[in-house]
Amino acid sequence: MGSYYTRENPQDLNRYYSPDILIVGGGMAGISAAVTAARLGAKTLLVHNRPTLGGPAGSECECESIGALIVGGSNWTTRDARETGPIEDFRMTTEYLYENGWRNHLSQVLRDVAEKEDNLTLLLNTEAYDVKVENGRITEILARTLNSDLTNRITPKMVLDCSGDSFVAVKAGAQFRHGREGKSEFNESLAPDQPDTCTLGSSIYFRAVDTGHPIPFKAPDWAEKFTDKMLGPGRSHKDPRKGFWWIECGGEMDTICDNEVIYKRLLGVVYGVWDHIKNHGDHNADNYAIEWISSIPAKRESRRIMGDYILTQNDVEKHAVYPDGVAYSGGNLDIHPLKGIFSGNTPCGPEHGILSPGLYQIPLRCLYTPEVENLMMAGRNISVTHAALSSTRLMGTCALCGQAVAATAVLCCKYDEIPRTISEKRMKELLRLLYRVDHTLPDVAVEDPDNLCLDAKVEVSSSMVLDLINMECIGTEALGTGESPVAQSFIATTPEIREAVFMMNNNGAEPAEVCAELVRQTEMYEFTKGTVIAESKVQVAPGKGQKIKFSFNAGTEVGKRYYIRLSGPASVESCLNMRNLPGIWRANLPISWPPQGDNTNHSFKLVPEQKPFEGENIVKSANRGGDDLSIWISDPKAGFPQTAQVTFPEKKTVSCVELVFDTCLEHINIYSSQMECVKDYVLEGICGDRVIVLAEESDNYLRFRKHVFPAVELSALRLTVRASRGDSSARVYQIRAYEKAEIC
C-alpha cells in the first residue's frame, strides 16, 4: 500500500497508448470496426466521447435500445440482404437477450462484446481534442477523459474516424463537404438546383408508460404548439409508448455548431407533440406519462470526408459494382424535408426520394482520404454526395463500412502501405480477411486458399428436396391483379424441368385458364425480364387446395436461376407458405410504404426433384443466399440429430474450425433468436479410430462460430446438430478448417 497523496504529479494525469489501430467514435461504425480489428489480431483502441456505445442506436438516444434503428439493405424489398460479421453478432445477441427478458440493453451488449476481445481497449467518456500531423500522417492524438483530469496521448499506426462529425479528419487536413451539391455537379435528380449548406435533420425519441390511472400534463411555456393539420400527413401518433422518429428538425441549421440549439428545439417539439396527444383530441393517452427523453439528438448528417471516389445517387440507382467493393446497401434514397416536422409535408417517402433502389456496392475508395496517409473513415462521414448519403447513412451500412476499414487498416499495418495501395493491389487478401470474420457481400466470391476443407469429401445424414407443396398454407396471392408479377424463383439442379406443380384455389364458379412461364432470370430480384424458356396453360376447376400441374419439358442449365411466372384471372390464387429458404424467392410485393420485402414462398414443387441444399454446399466458398447453391439443409421429415462429415483427402493438421449457420438474413428486427439457427451441436475430429470432441455447444444463437484448440492431426471433421432454435432442419452454410488460428 502506498501513502496518501500530498501533492499532484502531472505525469500521473497522462496515459500513453501506441495501438496499431485507433478508432474515434463508438457508434455502430466504430464499434463494428473495433471488434473487427481486434478479431483480426490488431492492437486496437476505441475512443468514444459518450458513456455508452451505439450512437443513435444506444441507450442514450433510442427509446428501446434493442437495435430497432440498426437498419440497412435488408429493410427494403431486397431479399437475404441483412449485414453479416460483428454487426450480426450484435444483432443476434441483442435479440436473444430480448427473448430472455432484457430491455434497453444494446449499449450493454456492445460493451460486453468489446470487453471480451483481448486485443481491444475501450476509452469511454473520452473526447479527442487535438491532432498532430507530420508529412501527411497523423502522429499523435490527444484525448481528454471527461470527469477526470486524464489526458490520453495516443500514437497510432492507423486512425479510423467513425465519429460522424469527423473532427479528427478535418483537424488532420482532410477535404470535406458539408451541405447539398447542386443538380449540375453530378446530374442527380434529387439534388437542389443550387448548392447550399443544408443537411438532413436530427431527431430525438421519448418513451411513455401507462401509469394505470388518469394523469394530467401541463406543457412548459417554450413547448411548440401542434394540431393534427400542423403535424402534417404521415405522422401517425396513435401509439405514444415508443416515441416517434419523425420528431425531426434542424436541416436548415448547422448540425455541428448548432447541435445544442437543435436539441432544445427538439425538446420543444417533444413536449408540444405530447401536449397535443394529452390535451387536444381523444388519443387514448389519459393514463400515459413520459418517463424518458433522449439526452442527445440523433444526427443524420454533418461533414462528409472526400475520398478517391464520391458515390452518387446515380451509382445507387444503377446497382453499381466495383473492383474494390467492400460494403453494400439497398436503403431508400430518402431526402427528408429540411425543416422536418415544421415542413408541413410528409416526413419521408416516395415524394422525397426513391424507394427500394436495390443493392449496390460501396467501394473502398469512398472510405479513405488521400490527404492523410494513415486515416480512414466509416459511418455517415464517408465520401458520398448528400443524395447518396440518404441511403448510405443507415446504421447497418455504417457498420459494414466500419468492418471494411478495420480490415483495410490491418493490412496497412501488416505491409506498411496506405489504403489506396490496398484498394489497387490487395483486394483479394482484404476480402479474405473480411470473410474470416464473416463480413460477406451478396454474390461476391472470395478465395480462401487456407481453408483445408476446399477439396474435402462431404457426407450428410439427409438433405431437403425443394418440395413446398404440402406445407401449411398461410395465405394466398391472387393472379391477374396487375399489381406485381406472381412468380417464384429457384436455382436449377437438373438439366431439365419437365413439370411444375402449384397449390391453387379457384374461387370462381367456372374453370379458369392459368398460364405458367418458365423464365431464365437475368437479375436476382427482377421478375418482369428474362428469356421465356417454355410456357404451359392449364384449366383450373373451381375449388380450393388443388395441385395444378404445368408441363414444360424444357432444358435448363444447372446452377442457374430461373423463375416461374403465373398469370390468369383474379379469381385464381396461388397458396403461400412460410418456409424461408436461402436463394428460393417469391416475387416481391409491390413497392409500398413502409417498403418491406416479403418472406413467403409459393407452395410448389418441380419435376424432376430439385436438390439445391445438398451437403456438398458446406465446403463451397458461398455462405449466404443469392445465386449460389450455398447451404446444407437436412430433410425436415428426418428430425434430429443430423450429421455432416467432411473427410480430407489426406490427414491435415487443424487448430481452428469456423462454422457458419443460417440466421435467416431475410428477417429484420424480430426481437427473438432466429428459428433457423443451429442451437445445440457437437464438433468432433476424427483420426482413424480415434474421435476427439473439439467443441460442444448448447443454446447457440450466433451465425458465425470460431473454435480454436491445440493443433491436432485429423482425417475428418464431423458436425452433429442435435437441435435448431425451432426449424425442422439442420441448416449449415459452411464448415471451414485451418492449420493456424491466426488470420493475419
**DSSP string across 147-216:** TS--EEEE--SEEEE-SSS-HHHHHHT--EE-SB--HHHHT-TTS-SS-BS----EE--EEEEE-SS---
Task: Give residue 551's Cα distance to chain centre.
Answer: 40
**Residue 273 CB partners (closer than 8 Å, separation 6+):** 224, 226, 231, 237, 244, 247
Q: pTM, whole model, 2 decimals?
A: 0.95
11-179+366-436: CATH number = 3.50.50.60
**DSSP string across 604-673:** EEEESPP-TT-GGGGGSS--SSSSS---EE--TTT-S-EEEEEEEEEEEEEEEEEEEE---TT--S-SS-
**Residue 621 CB partners (closer than 8 Å, separation 6+):** 445, 446, 447, 448
Q: Do domains 457-463+629-738 and 475-607 have the same CATH topology?
A: yes
Give the DSSP H or E segment for 86. Answer: helix 86-99
**Torsion angle in degrees (nearest 10) through CA of 423, 426, 427, 432:** -140
Rounded CA separation 180/502 (Å): 51
475-607: CATH number = 2.60.120.820
Domain ranges for the chain: 11-179+366-436, 202-299, 457-463+629-738, 475-607
What is the β-pairing status of strands 531-540 and 604-607? unpaired
The C-alpha cell 426449424 sits at 727
Instruction: Look at residue 593 in the predicted model and tell me its pLDDT.
Output: 41
pLDDT digits (tens, 9 = 90+) for 28-54: 999 999 999 999 999 999 999 999 999
3-state secondary structure string across 397-433: HHHHHHHHHHHHHHHHHHHCCCHHHHHHHCHHHHHHH
Are 29 and 378 in contact by the 8 Å Cβ rule? The answer is: yes
Instruction: Look at residue 596 in the predicted model and tell me its pLDDT.
Output: 46
Which of 636, 587, 633 lies closest to 614 in space, CA to CA? 633
**Residue 487 CB partners (closer than 8 Å, separation 6+):** 519, 527, 563, 564, 565, 566, 586, 587
Per DSSP, 218 falls in state -
Angle at 144 between CA 139 and CA 148, to 5 degrees: 150
Are 407 and 39 in contact by the 8 Å Cβ rule? The answer is: no
Are 706 and 695 in contact by the 8 Å Cβ rule? The answer is: no
What is the β-pairing status of strands 353-354 and 333-334? antiparallel
What residues in the chain have per-residue pLDDT under 50? 592-596
Instruction: Look at residue 526 in the predicted model and tell me its pLDDT.
Output: 79
Which of 453, 595, 621 lies closest to 525 in space, CA to CA? 595
For residue 422, which phi and psi values (nearest 5 degrees)? Answer: -60, -45
What is the β-pairing status of strands 21-24 and 44-47? parallel
**Residue 319 CB partners (closer than 8 Å, separation 6+):** 357, 358, 359, 360
Three-class DSSP category at 475: strand
- Cβ neighbours, 10 Å, residue 698: 10
Task: Give residue 70's Cα distance to chain centre.
Answer: 7
The C-alpha cell 436503403 sits at 331
For the record, the C-alpha cell of 207 comes out as 418513451
Rounded CA separation 673/679 (Å): 10
Instruction: Look at residue 89 in the predicted model and tell me its pLDDT.
Output: 96
- Exposed, middle or buried, 321 (CB in 10 Å: 0-12/13-18/19+)? middle
Instruction: Look at residue 730 in the predicted model and tell me its pLDDT.
Output: 98
**DSSP string across 42-79:** --EEEE-SSSSSSGGGSTTT-SS-SSTT---GGGSS-S
Which of 300, 302, 58, 274 lies closest to 176 in space, CA to CA? 302
Rounded CA separation 684/282 (Å): 63
Average model confidence (pLDDT) for the chain?
A: 93
The C-alpha cell 440497412 sits at 72
pLDDT digits (tens, 9 = 90+) for 733-743: 999 999 999 99
Give the DSSP H or E segment for 457. Answer: strand 457-460
For CA atoms 633, 634, 639, 640, the dihedral sign is negative
Rounded CA separation 386/617 (Å): 41
For the record, the C-alpha cell of 235 comes out as 405522422
- Cβ neighbours, 10 Å, residue 655: 17
In angstroms and rounded to an integer, the radius of gyration of the C-alpha atoms of the chain is 27
Instruction: Look at residue 323 in the predicted model and tell me its pLDDT.
Output: 97
Instruction: Look at residue 670 in the predicted model and tell me its pLDDT.
Output: 63
Angle at 378 between CA 377 and CA 383, to 5 degrees: 70
Give the DSSP H or E segment for 31. Answer: helix 28-39
Are 224 and 247 in contact by the 8 Å Cβ rule? The answer is: no
For the record, the C-alpha cell of 664 comes out as 435467416
Q: Angle formed by the axes of helices 28-39 and 395-415, to 10°? A: 40
Peptide bond into 641 cis (omega under 30): yes
For residue 427, which phi and psi values (nearest 5 degrees)? Answer: -65, -35
Rounded CA separation 328/412 (Å): 22
Which of 727, 581, 681, 668 lies closest to 95 in space, CA to CA? 668
pLDDT digits (tens, 9 = 90+) for 474-523: 999 999 876 678 999 999 999 999 999 999 999 999 999 999 999 999 87
% of the chain residues with pLDDT over 90:
83
Are 159 and 366 in contact by the 8 Å Cβ rule? The answer is: no
Instruction: Look at residue 598 in the predicted model and tell me its pLDDT.
Output: 63
Which of 246, 241, 224 lies closest to 290 in space, CA to CA? 241
Count Cβ neighbours within 10 Å for each residue of 157-176 and write b for 16 or more, e otherwise.
Answer: bbbbbbbbbbbbbbbbebeb
Give the DSSP H or E segment for 91. Answer: helix 86-99
Three-class DSSP category at 384: strand
457-463+629-738: CATH superfamily = Galactose-binding domain-like (2.60.120.260)
The C-alpha cell 486512425 sits at 159
